[in-house]
Amino acid sequence: MASYESAIPYIQKAEGGLSRATTDTASKSPSPFEHNGKTGWHTNRGITWDTFKGLSNKAGYAVNKDNFIFMPDNIWLKIYRVGFWDAARGDLYTSQPIANAVVDWAWASGTGQRGSKGALIRYLAKKGFQARTFDDIAASFNSLVLRDGEQKVFNDLIDERKRFFRSLGQPANEKGWLARMETLRQQGMSLFGQGVKATYETVKKHPYITVAVVAGMGIALFVLLKTLKQSK
């Protein structure tokens, strides 16, 4: 299955440092902290002040100036892992590049119905899949990969996100967003087969996992058949 570590270098490279740019919608909700004689700092390493505050309890860190303005690597990683990779159910994907693309969408647009979640649900509906949760979304993409192939599904997803960006009507940001998608496409193309490979390596290293899964499926089937027989 996909690994959360794979997307980290790409996201960190794509994001800048501390920002107080007024062209960003996050500027409407800046942090209260002064830094270098200036205020209005709203984003650091791709994480907005609102996101930083909102995930503090779940990810386990204090909301203070040092942790936001001088954000340590371990706190950035907690936010990425808990707030985006885990929230988007990245571990459930059989395709590493597709998992990375979905999580990157969640990272940039949020995990709510108005952000990545809603957009992905609508996209999958056009492909014939009904999804309501991120678990459903992951299962649908895994099925799509089996039906259409990993490379086609991945490239179609990148193209869909480019259409999403164009629909926002923000020409000042559009060029950078589209360039980011092509970088993500190139990164993804180097990862085809990685999710399946990781699953294979895990099974090879820990064969008892396979035995346990198969045994569990057998027990579940036995119980189901017994229940059906008794109900007749």
pLDDT digits (tens, 9 = 90+) for 52-98: 999 999 999 999 999 999 999 999 999 999 999 999 999 999 999 99
Residue 103 has pLDDT above 70, yes or no: yes
In this prediction, residue 202 carries a pLDDT of 40
Q: Which residue has the higher pLDDT, 120 or 170?
A: 120
Which has the minimum average pLDDT: 17-26, 48-57, 184-193, 215-224?
Answer: 215-224
In this prediction, residue 205 carries a pLDDT of 46
Rounded to an integer, the average pLDDT of 18-34 is 94
SS3 of 75-115: HHHHHHHHHHHCCCCHHHCCCHHHHHHHHHHHHHHCCCCCC
Q: How far apart are CA 121 and CA 143, in angstroms?
A: 14
In this prediction, residue 10 carries a pLDDT of 87
pLDDT in tens, 206-220: 445 444 434 444 444
Residue 227 has pLDDT above 50, yes or no: no
- Could you tell me the two tokens for 192? 């085809």
Q: How far apart are CA 71 and CA 86, in angstroms?
A: 20
Q: Name residue 43's beta-bridge partners.
A: 19, 48
Q: How far apart are CA 14 and CA 20, in angstroms?
A: 17
> What are the angstrom distances between the C-alpha of 109 and each of 50, 75, 118, 210?
13, 20, 10, 37
